[in-house]
């Protein structure tokens, strides 16, 4: 599980790369679950929440950028 404090110092590009990796992992976990090969079902939840954390942070940064320029 990734904490938000660990994500804040990362750049947007690093966060987008990590988001892509987590989305690939999420797809693989869903595929394993559908085929009955999923061993760690709790990992699905942690990956989903990590994706949400990254998306939230990116969205907050996107919203803050125009207000800082104005």
Return the pLDDT at 65: 84
Is residue 1 scored above 80 in pLDDT? no
Return the pLDDT at 47: 97
Return the pLDDT at 59: 96
Is residue 70 scored above 60 in pLDDT? no
How much is the pTM? 0.88
Return the pLDDT at 68: 63
Domains of the chain with bracketed CATH: 4-69 (1.10.287.310)
Q: What is the pLDDT of residues 13-54, one digit of tens each?
A: 999 999 999 999 999 999 999 999 999 999 999 999 999 999
- The CA distance from 2 to 69, in Å, is 30
């Amino acid at each position: 599980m990734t904490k938000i404090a660990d994500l804040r110092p990362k750049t947007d590009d690093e966060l987008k790369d990590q988001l892509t990796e987590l989305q690939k992992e999420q797809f693989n976990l869903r595929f394993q679950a559908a085929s009955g090969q999923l061993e760690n079902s709790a990992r699905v939840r942690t990956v989903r929440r990590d994706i949400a954390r990254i998306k939230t942070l990116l969205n907050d940064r996107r919203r803050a950028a125009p207000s800082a320029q104005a």
